[in-house]
Structure 1
Amino acid sequence: MSPAFSPPRFPRRATALSARGLTFATLLLLGGCGLFKKGDQKPPPLAPPETMYNNGIDALRTNRYLLASAEFEALQQNYPYSGYVANAQLMEGYAYYLQDKYPEAVQQLDRFLLLHPTSNDAAYAFYLRALCYYEQIAEVQRDQQGTVEALDALQEVVSRFPQTAYARDAQLKIDLCRDHLAGKEMLVGRFYEQQNNYEAALNRYQRVVQDFQTTNHVPEALQRLVEVYLALGLRDEAKRAGSVLGYNYPGSKWYGYAYADLRSAHLVDAHTQAPTGPRPGVVSRALNLIF
């Protein structure tokens, strides 16, 4: 899952760019042991912080993400009080993100936010941190703790920076996370229903209707509630769930299934909403009627 829009421009290159080129950290990465013969010469002097920073930015621009993270880390280790450290921390987090090293990216971004909570780049740091969790969301069949963490991180972006482009994109991803969590509940509920564990299935379907009302899974959850209530002999509850489904989604295929079940159970009367052709669903005013 990639971000919906590109991150901000890279911070401007340092103006005092050294003509010497690569830093000692870069040389160690590129050259290995053969660069220097023992006793022949001393390693070159450590490059100044602006050179390390510029090398890291150049590496990012040319998709050499491993080299970029090494440059930014070397800068922080060797010049902890430099004015380039804050940007280096943020860019190192971004470099880890581009390498799909999400735990390392989160750790680096947390360090940046702890040390620079009022930075102008804090909104982007929170957003990038949320993306790290979002990218790790597992398939519906697997544990969804990662989805919960992504949802929390995205909501933090919206609450802290509501008027930003980051918040707008985070809100879209929040909706996707909620749909994902609702899908997990439906998967488990269907499993329980197939095992005739109707009480457990009922809890899952009810949670979708109560907690994930804006997701696409609600019509099916209501139809499954009709099935389960009928299986449990709870005819009035089945009819109420069917009424809510018919009121909100009269053109849904799920209401067609529920209507057929209710008719087979002789629960259809003159007041029962008949299925209609496709039409946009209306905002529910009656979801609480089935609880």
Structure 2
Amino acid sequence: MRNLTASFLLAIGCIVMVSGCSNSQGDEHFTEQVENKSPEGLYQDARTAMELGNFTKATQILETLDSRYPFGAHKTQVQLDLIFSYYKLEDSANALANIDRFVRLNPTHKDIDYVYYMRGLTNMQSDEYMFHEMVGIDRSDRDPSAAMEAFRDFEKLLKTFPNSRYSPDAQQRMIMLKNRLARFHLQVAEYYVSVDTWVAAANRAQQIMETFGDTPSAERALEIMVISYEKLKQDTLMANAKNVLATNFPDNRYAQ
């Protein structure tokens, strides 16, 4: 196990080192190009870099365009491309900063639905941890604030632009986020069970049922309610929880 962990960390280190070397070489090459090109030439370079997947180079060109020619012909498209490029680089802080600036300066832009969608994607990306996903580690107990923000972003998109081309995907992502948030609250409820804090366990399970009752976490939440109310000698509440459990999950052992 120790060897496996060491190998995994070494692999991560190699990835970081290779990425760092690659990016620094790209930056050095780019510095020579910035100063001698017209706005149109720079924008074409940025688009070419994006098409080739070189988003480090693309963001640097786009930032240069944005700062030197803030009222240029491509000004709004430059900002939209910056949002996408920072998202592809998994630079959530810069992506969100550019998104919020775009919304503030262009609240009625024809692509504002796309910007709201990208805000949701960026917050959702912030909630993910690549290396945990790679090795199959469940970290649903991590801070859910970014997931909550992403859910609100997609919800705002659906309410404001229900016919947007991005709405169907946003709706599917909301289901994923809702399941993730339910798992977080279930982890909290399980912790309360493990330390025999039955009132807190029952309350958290009740919260899951009220907010996330249509997620896979609902069955276990109902089980925790039955167990907790039994421990608390709250017979009426226990019976009610059992009835709901029996109605929705008739084969569950706690429903008998």
* TM-score between the two structures when normalised by the length of structure 1: 0.71
Contact 1:189–1:205 (Cα < 8 Å) also in 2:
yes
- Structure 2 counterpart of 1:223: 223
Listed one character per residue, the Cα deviations across residues 212-266 of structure 1 (whole Å, up to 9, x for unaligned) are: 1111111111111111111111122211111111112224xxx22332xxxxxxx
Give the alignment of 1:123-272 within 5 angstroms. Answer: 123-138=113-128, 139-251=139-251, 255-259=252-256
- The secondary structure found in structure 1 opposite 2:141 is coil
Give the alignment of 1:85-104 within 5 angstroms. Answer: 85-104=75-94
- Structure 2 counterpart of 1:114: 104
Contact 1:129–1:153 (Cα < 8 Å) also in 2:
yes
Contact 1:130–1:153 (Cα < 8 Å) also in 2:
yes
How many Å apart are 1:28 and its aligned residue? 7.2
Contact 1:227–1:258 (Cα < 8 Å) also in 2:
no
- The secondary structure found in structure 1 opposite 2:127 is coil
More helix by share: 2
In structure 1, runs of 5+ residues without a counterpart are 1-26, 36-42, 260-291
How many Å apart are 1:175 and its aligned residue? 1.4
RMSD: 2.1
- Structure 2 counterpart of 1:72: 62
Give the alignment of 1:38-77 within 5 angstroms. Answer: 46-77=36-67
- The secondary structure found in structure 2 opposite 1:136 is helix
In structure 2, runs of 5+ residues without a counterpart are 1-25, 129-138
Rounded to whole Å, the distance in 1 between the matches of 2:122 and 2:207 is 27
- The secondary structure found in structure 1 opposite 2:126 is coil
- In terms of Rg, which structure is larger? 1
How many Å apart are 1:69 and its aligned residue? 0.7
Rounded to whole Å, the distance in 1 between the matches of 2:123 and 2:80 is 17
Contact 2:192–2:200 (Cα < 8 Å) also in 1:
yes
- The secondary structure found in structure 2 opposite 1:135 is helix
- The secondary structure found in structure 2 opposite 1:165 is coil
* TM-score between the two structures when normalised by the length of structure 2: 0.81
- The secondary structure found in structure 2 opposite 1:141 is coil
How many Å apart are 1:47 and its aligned residue? 2.1
Distance 1:44 1:169, change over 3 A: closer
- Structure 2 counterpart of 1:30: 29
Identity of aligned residues (%): 26
- The secondary structure found in structure 1 opposite 2:142 is coil
